[in-house]
Structure 1
Amino acid sequence: MRLESQSVSLNELQHWFSTERMDTYVRSAKATGCDAVDLYVWNGRTSKALLEDIAHVEVLLRNFMSVRLAKACGHDDWYKDDTRFRFNSSRTRRFENSVDEIERQIRHAGKPVTPGRVIADMSLGSWCFLLSSRLEQTVWKALRDPANGGMPNYPSRKRAMFESHVKMMRDLRNRLSHQEHIVLDNLDAENQYLDEQYANLDWIARTIEPKAADWIRGQSRVPGLRKLRPHHSTLN
């Protein structure tokens, strides 16, 4: 049974989306014994399901960080407290500039600038920056401080490890957002890659709040879609 709602040919997809793009799916289909059209549809649906999970984890992350940083400095616009957190160096004011651009876009949209809107518009790259080693003695210290809520579900409180997991999520989101493939020519390698990515999202969520991690995992479409991964028995 095909995954798409209506039947199309590989030639049509090559015409619409380019032969070069479809070559990835043709190679993987041959290597894993399935139909390239089915594989292309499955890749798209599974990618979007992963993006749903990433969105939940990203919002959980930014809320966790924002709440603790706000408590540390006593005001919701903590992102302006460069004196306390030392976001900007003498060589670059990249973080400050990114906040200024967010505020400009909010005003351009005719909306009042509020901390909630600014925080919601911060990129995942910005949250990765806030977890970097240069801010370990300011931002990370505030995140793990029990007085601010701390990290009760992450007893080791190792910044570098936490940062590496968030960077892994960022790289996956960038890959999926740019419509890059998750299928591989080797099915074992593909399964290992997807297992690792799914486990990474769960690790981040569970480190922040186990009950939230359970909910994200429970509503995820990814496990069900992975069971539908085309294989040799779907060939016509």
Structure 2
Amino acid sequence: MSHALIVVDVQNDFCEGGSLGVDGGSAVAADITRHLETHRREYDAVVAAADWHVDPGGHFSDEPDFVDSWPPHCRVDTRGWAFHPEVAEALRGVDAVFHKGQFSAAYSGFEGTTTDGGEGTGADVGREGRPRVSTEDAILLGDWLREAGITSVDVVGIATDHCVRATALDAVAQGFGTRVLLDLTAGVSPQTTTRALATMREAGVELVGNPRAS
């Protein structure tokens, strides 16, 4: 059995001070770094997923409902898109970064692609701010994991009740044994986190540790 770690959306805009900051996000970033320092050898691959918004249409709104629309966040070439400083150095050594949501809403890391055969940091960005994406070269996360021989994954990151949940559910649906390491996640609210945990558990996701929610 080959095992991978998926780090989801540990970006400045999703941590304290960001446009969609989640309480505990900075602590999660630091804890993920410590987890990698201690447990990196347990994983055959480590990948990251990240929001990578250029013009996602109705996903952004000046009057968001926080269900289907949100304040602008993680725009390409802004500080908000970058990985949080507490985890950025640790993520320099990941096997691939999968960008999602360039031109539409995207929650699951399995919607993300890299354009370079699974090495480096994925989509390049031109001067005009639009990713130079070759559909011929783009690799979806699920395909990349299968090509790497991965059969099971641990999912960590932000937010438990949104992109972590979506990523874990897609991992199970695509046939990967899936755990969410709750000590390495942060949720938006106790209510939505509780619902997300129930949904993941029902789908067959193994939940390890204790959830954090503001």
TM bin (shorter chain): under 0.3
Determine which structure has the larger helix proportion and give its number: 1
Q: Which is higher, the Rg of structure 1 or of structure 2?
A: 1
Determine which structure has the larger strand proportion and give its number: 2
TM-score (norm. length: structure 2)? 0.27
TM-score (norm. length: structure 1)? 0.26
